[in-house]
């Protein structure tokens, strides 16, 4: 059952009608009163607690049997009687009249449900499990209650007082938003929370005088990690939340954009696969330059680490050319993430003395010096990115330059995601055991004695059936239709 999270304006002209006179009706009335709503109570008999609550807030109480006619002057109704049949009737009557109704503890009869609520003055944080587990919602509420200071209302009032001033000074929304963030994250907020308003005002005036009033272009190359949305750094989250424009790869977890990017940020997919590029690298570069020149904060969001097979130097050169500041925010690489989730080290005492991150380009497949360079890497761990079509040839070539035929090999599909899956073999047996398999992208191959650790140290349970975690890229035809629709 799907619910849309909304905050409704409390109206004194049309109070919420609560039908019921017991403890449940009292609890709902108290919850409504706590957010400033006007309430009218109808019941054949009203309990003492509810009567006292209504007297305290000046709510109208009518002791009479339920009749559908009373609904006509209301837009929101709460059915909180102990009569199931009556609650069903109230729900049906409300829906017939287009009136929003909540039937306590009966989600199928509800048009809306009450969330667990954390309230700090005007700040309200609503938590809902769609009616499945109110206990879980309450536990989450308690966690948030501890994380958000009780004095947070002071900061909201302070910001409300400064709002009109900031709107006059900052004509662009971006610098205004960044200044608000500076207030919230810095010493100004700390002084406000402690009630030191005079000090806070002095700090505010000083910060305002020295803060840029125009848009501030910047480029952030951010690694989102190998797939699991929690494998992203705190700094990456902070900078991602500032972005006006986000150019993101296919191998970025959708949850990262949903949780950490602003809803109004312009999100542009620029993903690539071996045979299909939504945007060529020169197109991506042109987009970066275009938005930097407009004064936008641009995030180039990459799967894994932005310094590994990711064109980072080319994109930084654009920022340098237009004079925009830039930062590189490292991410957990696919090699590190896949190895960790498979339970293996990448180096090992008295074993693997180093690790190489590599890829097999078509032009290097038959270059003798490339393979000769690997002849002395038999005591190292080799990790091959983006080389799936060449796995069989890779295993053959390594044996031909002296690698032991029983050298362990592991292919990891969609590493660290819920679809993480390992395939273990050896150089000698790979073709026979896995050579015909079509591995799901992204996949990488880890070669070396460290793979032996997987048998004893592997901890990630694999799904029973393989399926896609990352969405496939839309076809060129689909992209063209989207562009045409956007310009229509």
So where are the chain's domains?
16-114, 152-210, 218-332, 336-457
Pairing relationship of beta strands 76-79 and 60-63 according to DSSP bridges? unpaired
Checking if the pLDDT of 475 tops 70, the result is no
Q: Pick the catalytic residue: 249, 305, 422, 449?
A: 249
pLDDT band at 484 (very low <50, low <70, confident <90, very high): very low
* pLDDT (0 to 100) of residue 488: 43
Does domain 218-332 sit in CATH 3.30.1330.40? no
This prediction has a pTM of 0.82
Checking if the pLDDT of 150 tops 70, the result is yes
At the second CATH level, the architecture of 336-457 is 2-Layer Sandwich (3.30)
The percent of residues in the chain predicted with pLDDT above 70, rounded, is 96
Average the pLDDT over 138-157 and give the result: 92
Checking if the pLDDT of 76 tops 50, the result is yes
Q: What is the mean pLDDT of the chain?
A: 93
Residues with Cβ < 8 Å from 371, sequence gap 6 or more?
397, 400, 401
pLDDT band at 3 (very low <50, low <70, confident <90, very high): confident
Least confident of 166-180, 187-201, 269-283: 269-283
What is the CATH number assigned to the segment(s) 16-114? 3.40.50.720
pLDDT band at 1 (very low <50, low <70, confident <90, very high): low
* pLDDT (0 to 100) of residue 223: 97
> Is 272 part of the annotated catalytic residue set?
yes
The percent of residues in the chain predicted with pLDDT above 90, rounded, is 83
* pLDDT (0 to 100) of residue 66: 97
Q: Pick the catalytic residue: 141, 272, 429, 460?
A: 272
> Is 290 part of the annotated catalytic residue set?
no
């Amino acid at each position: 059952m799907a619910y849309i999270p909304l905050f409704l304006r409390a109206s004194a002209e049309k109070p919420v009608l609560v039908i019921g006179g017991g403890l449940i009706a009292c609890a709902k009335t108290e919850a409504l009163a706590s957010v400033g709503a006007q309430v009218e109570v109808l019941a054949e008999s009203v309990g003492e607690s509810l009567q006292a609550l209504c007297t305290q807030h000046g709510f109208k109480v009518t002791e009479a049997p339920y009749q559908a006619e009373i609904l006509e002057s209301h837009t929101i109704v709460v059915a909180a009687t102990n009569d199931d049949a009556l609650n069903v009737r109230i729900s049906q009557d409300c829906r017939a009249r287009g009136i929003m109704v909540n039937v306590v503890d009966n989600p199928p009869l509800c048009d809306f449900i009450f969330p667990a609520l954390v309230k700090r003055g005007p700040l309200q944080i609503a938590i809902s499990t769609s009616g499945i587990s109110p206990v879980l919602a309450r536990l989450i509420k308690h966690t948030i209650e501890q994380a958000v200071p009780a004095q947070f209302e002071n900061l909201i009032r302070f910001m409300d007082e400064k709002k009109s001033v900031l709107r006059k000074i900052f004509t662009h929304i971006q610098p205004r938003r960044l200044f608000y963030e500076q207030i919230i994250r810095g010493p100004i907020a700390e002084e406000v929370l402690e009630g030191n308003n005079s000090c806070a005002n002095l700090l505010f005036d000083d910060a305002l005088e020295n803060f840029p009033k125009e848009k501030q272009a910047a480029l952030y190359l951010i690694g989102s990690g190998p797939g699991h949305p929690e494998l992203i750094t705190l700094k990456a989250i902070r900078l991602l939340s500032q972005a006006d424009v986000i150019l993101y790869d296919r191998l970025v977890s959708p949850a990262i954009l949903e949780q950490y990017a602003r809803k109004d940020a312009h999100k542009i997919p620029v993903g690539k696969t071996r045979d299909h590029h939504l945007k060529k690298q020169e197109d991506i570069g042109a987009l970066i330059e275009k938005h930097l020149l407009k004064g936008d904060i641009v995030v180039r969001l990459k799967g894994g680490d932005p310094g590994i097979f990711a064109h980072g130097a080319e994109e930084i050169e654009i920022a340098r050319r237009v004079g925009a500041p830039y930062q590189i925010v490292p991410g957990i690489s696919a090699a590190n993430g896949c190895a960790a989730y498979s339970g293996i080290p990448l180096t090992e005492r008295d074993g693997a003395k180093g690790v190489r991150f590599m890829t097999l380009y078509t032009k290097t497949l038959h270059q003798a010096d490339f393979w000769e360079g690997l002849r002395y890497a038999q005591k190292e761990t080799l990790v091959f990115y983006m080389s799936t079509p060449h796995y069989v040839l890779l295993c053959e070539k390594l044996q031909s330059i002296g690698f032991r035929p029983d050298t362990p090999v592991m292919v990891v599909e969609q590493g660290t995601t819920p679809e993480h899956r390992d395939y273990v073999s050896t150089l000698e047996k790979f073709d026979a055991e896995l050579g015909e398999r079509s591995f799901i992208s992204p996949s990488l191959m880890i070669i070396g004695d460290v793979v032996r650790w997987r048998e004893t140290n592997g901890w990630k349970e694999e799904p029973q059936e393989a399926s896609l975690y990352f969405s496939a890229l839309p076809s060129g035809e689909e992209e063209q239709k989207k562009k045409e629709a956007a310009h229509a």
